Structure formats: C-alpha cells, structure tokens
Amino acid sequence: RAAEWQLEQPAWSGRLRITAKGSTAFIKLEDKSSGELFAQAPVEQFPGMAVESVTDSSRYFVIRVEDGNGRRAFIGVGFADRGDAFDFNVALQDHFKRVRQQSELAQQAQDQEQGPKLDLGFKEGQTIKLNIANMKKKEGATGSTRPRPAGPGGLSLLPPPPGGKCSSGERPASLPTPARLPGTPITDSLLSWPQPTAAPAADVWGDFAKASG
C-alpha cells in the first residue's frame, strides 16, 4: 500500500526513463540535472515480479532494482501526475507486445521452412482447361445480318423508306441512263440526274411598256 510510505519525504526524487535492449526493458532512475544513474530495474516480463502496482493507487509501483553484482532490492516509486503513470504502463505494454509479435513471426517463418514446400509447377503431361464464358458465337449469328445491296461502282444504295409506295400501285419512273459523250468515259459511280428546264423569265416591266411617254 502506498499509504504506508513516507510520501511527503521521499528518499530520492529524479526522472524515470525506460530503454530496451533486445527483449529486455530497463527502468532507469536518473538524476534530473546530471543524468547520473541512481538505480536500474531490468524487466523481462510485464506484468511480473519486476514491476507491480500497489493496491490503493494507480500512480505508485514497486520495482525490483539490481546493481549488476547479483544484489536486488524492492523499492517503491510514484508519479506526481497521473498521466505520467499512464505513460509508464503503456511504454512497458508496447515493448512486450512488440516482443511477442516478433517471436510469433519468427516461429511462423521457422514452421514454413521445416514444413513441406508446395510444388505449384506443372507435372509432365499435365494440362489445364480454362472455361471462358460468352466467347462462342451464337449459331446463325453470322447470317442474321444481311449485306446491303451494292450499287454501281461499289456505292451502297439505301432501301426506300417505309410507306413510300404509290397509292395507285404504279412504280416510279426509273432514272434515264446517262449518255456517254465521245471520248469521255463515264464511271459507274456517277449518276446523271435530269436537270429541270428553267421557266421563261417574266416581263418585269409588265404593262408599263405600253404606257405612252
């Protein structure tokens, strides 16, 4: 319980820093000004014996410090701000979460190397069949469209519009055959259309020509 500690007169005050080397995290208590190391607690598992929370506060912990010569001691540490205590917890959790992920990835890679390898190559004489839908043409699709009748010289003539039949049933007169001039060849692609005769010009003067003077 943190209430049993002398919180008003701590034995030491300084800064706390967390470092990592491999899978081990190190809680370092350092002097605020010089950065001199006061104590260090290696943490190989969290939660575990190296770091424990007190029962009556979320800002105080018990850590196990070591001097490197085999001597260990349990000391109580606390934070004046609750946010710093939260960051302390999160930093340790993130470190060991990353350690577990790296261990799982290494184990998966080892299992893949030891397991049988998949042979995805084709064996001799082995074939594969692909079923591609909608690639075959429908029967009779090629004969469904009729080619347009080609006119003289390769020109395509459009069929007459619907409803264009004469009411009397008579066929329209065919076009006269173009006359061939001497020495001038007429190609099949040219059509000669009859030109309408111009109406005689009317007398613009009318009856004014008969007027006297």
DSSP three-state, residue 66: strand
**What mean pLDDT do residues 114-131 have?**
74
* Residues sharing a CB contact under 8 Å with residue 8, sequence separation 6 or more, in sequence order: none
Residue 27 has pLDDT above 90, yes or no: yes
Task: Report if residue 50 sits inside a domain.
Answer: yes
Instruction: Say if CB 117 and CB 47 are below 8 A apart.
Output: no
Is position 8 within any domain?
A: yes
Residue type, 72: R
Q: What is the C-alpha separation between 15 and 19, in angstroms, rounded?
A: 13
Domain with residue 58: its CATH number is: 2.30.29.30
Residue 142 CB neighbours (<10 A): 8
Q: Residue 54 domain-assigned?
A: yes
Binned at pLDDT 50, 70 and 90, residue 69 comes out as confident
Q: How far apart are CA 70 and CA 79, in angstroms?
A: 28
Domain count, the chain: 1
E strand or H helix at 103:
helix 82-114
For residue 56, tell me if it sits in a domain.
yes
Overall average pLDDT of the 68-90 stretch: 92
Q: When comparing pLDDT for 7 and 206, which is higher?
A: 7
Task: Please state, in angstroms and as integers, the Cα–Cα distance from residue 36 to each residue in 7, 39, 50, 66, 118, following that order.
Answer: 23, 9, 22, 16, 57
pLDDT digits (tens, 9 = 90+) for 162-209: 655 545 555 555 555 555 555 555 554 445 555 555 555 555 555 555
Residue 173, domain member (yes or no) = no
pLDDT of residue 195: 58
pLDDT value of residue 157: 58
Ramachandran category for residue 56: left, alpha or beta (phi over 0 → left; psi -120 to 50 → alpha): alpha
Domain that holds residue 110: 2-114
Instruction: Report the pLDDT value the prediction gives residue 60, as an integer from 0 to 100.
Output: 94
What's the mean per-residue pLDDT of the chain? 76
Residue that wins the pLDDT comparison between 137 and 130: 130
Task: Quote the CA–CA distance of 192 and 176 in Å, as a whole number.
Answer: 8
pLDDT-based confidence at 90, cuts 50/70/90?
very high
Does residue 146 have a pLDDT over 90?
A: no
- For position 59, what pLDDT does the model report? 93
- Residue-level pLDDT at 113: 72
Would you say 67 and 53 are in contact if contact means Cβ atoms under 8 Å apart? no
Q: Which of 68-72, 120-124, 175-179, 193-197 has the highest mean pLDDT?
A: 68-72
Residue 23 lies in a domain: yes
Residue 61 lies in a domain: yes
Mean pLDDT of 72-85: 93
Does residue 78 belong to any structural domain of this protein? yes
Tokens standing for residue 25: 């995290």
The structure's pTM equals 0.50
Q: Which residues contact 37 (CB under 8 A, 6 or more apart)?
A: 28, 29, 30
